[in-house]
Amino acid sequence: MKTKFSGHFPTALTNVDQFWKNCLFVLDANVLLSLYRYSNSTREEFFSVLNSLRDRLWIPYQVGQEYLGNRLSVIGEQVKAYEDSAKKVEALRSSLEATTQHPFVSSQVLVECQGTFTKLLAEFKSSKEEHERRINLDDIMIELSDLLDNKVGEPFDRARLEKAIQDGGSRYVDKIPPGFSDAKKGGDSPVFEDKCRPYGDYIIWLQIIEKASAENKPILFVTGDSKEDWWVVFNGKTTGPHPKLLQEFEVLTGNNVYLYTPHQFLQRASEFLHRETSAQAVNEIRDGELREASFEFDEEQVRTVEPESEFVFHEFFGSEYLPWNFPASDFDTVITQRHWLKEKLRDVRDAIEQALLKLARLDDELRKAPPSPQKYARMQKEKSEAKREVSYYRAAQSHIQAMLVECDERIRSVL
């Protein structure tokens, strides 16, 4: 049975130590970009592990291209996160300083809080400026450039890319991984680079296969992509790499491939290198993966969003709903609408994140020790409620994203 369905029996798991001793470590673009999202201490730990394995690191050309193409956007996201956090602190401070309405706070407590507010705002400002400096002088990019010196694959020429687009289109129709979840990602543009966008994952896959064949080595691919064109997902849980990937790789290269998420890689690399890694770093990376998973959406699915999502959207925001005809006809109002929607999208994503973290916490508690029957029933009820919250908030998120697509189309038509 193993010979016919080898993808369901990953050889990499039969002798993990041997696999790690022989493999090449290949990093996805999202792994490189996530370094900007980590705290300084976690990023240092991750870089330390990568440096210990630097002789066997490699990235496909497509990964480098995607990293450099998205770097500034990710930096901008971090700058915005600190700006938003500072606004929330300022809003809280203002509400507490108001002496004519609830909530009332004593002068003594308010004085004590002022010092904390000042420290928070100073730290947010410092962190924001640190990220802004990376726009022109990027210490993370410099370190990656040194780490991956002479470890980047060659690009495909135009003919090879056109063939990848043609083959990828056929594969996506049959849901052959990887990449079919990106089928609607900007492929209608006449610009050739945009035409390649839906096939980025497939191009990465082809370049990994070429490298493995040339080097005659197994591959450990580290990716933050959580979609079902890379992984098997059952009942909301990732059970392992997609079997079709493992089987195709073995057939084409005569070697094995296995996939790790960044937090799994950090944990396992620490064991392999006989070094300690802080639980805080692992948890931070894992929580970040959960957040990124909750933000991914299929644009085609957004365009055909279920009618009930609009009801959920109105239910979620109530009287805050857009006070204008949507989408507006004049440019300035569309820009205002788009800004409002972006703010609400962050609110919904925060709600999704909290619900997902609650689910992860409950799962961890259930795994650690069998609870009493009463506690088990209560925890299962909490899990059901959290899952309903995720579905509810994702419906609201889908409607907001559909409205943002309309805003962008209106802006493009005006421009």
Rg of the chain over all Cα atoms, to the nearest angstrom: 24
Return the pLDDT at 255. 94
Q: Which parts of 190-253 fold into alpha helices (H)? A: 192-196, 200-215, 243-253
Encode pLDDT of 191-240 as tens digits: 888 889 899 999 999 999 999 999 999 999 999 998 889 998 776 677 88
Return the pLDDT at 178. 95
3 state DSSP class of 257: strand
The amino acid at residue 379 is: M
Share of the chain above pLDDT 90, in %: 46
Encode pLDDT of 85-101 as tens digits: 899 888 888 887 877 66
DSSP sequence for 161-206? HHHHHHHHHHHHHTTPSSSGGGTTSSTT-SSHHHHHGGGHHHHHHH
- How many H-runs (helices) and E-runs (strands) does the chain carry? 16, 6
Residues 6+ apart with CB under 8 A from 118: none
DSSP sequence for 325-360? -SS-SSHHHHHHHHHHHHHHHHHHHHHHHHHHHHHH
Phi, psi of 151, deg, nearest 5: -125, 30
Q: Where are the domains of the chain?
A: 6-71+146-274, 297-414
Confidence of residue 396 (pLDDT cuts 50, 70, 90): confident
* Full-model pTM: 0.71
- Reading the block at residue 196, the tokens are 């390649």
The amino acid at residue 358 is: K
304 pLDDT higher than 50: no
Return the pLDDT at 205. 98
Return the pLDDT at 376. 73
Provide mean pLDDT across the span 385-389: 82
374 pLDDT higher than 80: no
Return the pLDDT at 312. 54
Residue with tokens 């990023």: 43
Encode pLDDT of 99-108 as tens digits: 766 677 788 8
310 CB-contact burial (10 Å; exposed 0-12 / middle 13-18 / buried 19+) = middle
Is 143 in contact with 40 (CB distance < 8 Å)? no
- Reading the block at residue 365, the tokens are 């508690």
Return the pLDDT at 100. 66
96 vs 162, higher pLDDT: 162
Phi, psi of 240, deg, nearest 5: 160, 175
Q: How many angstroms separate the CA atoms of 140 and 163, rounded?
A: 34
Is 61 in contact with 148 (CB distance < 8 Å)? no
251 pLDDT higher than 70: yes
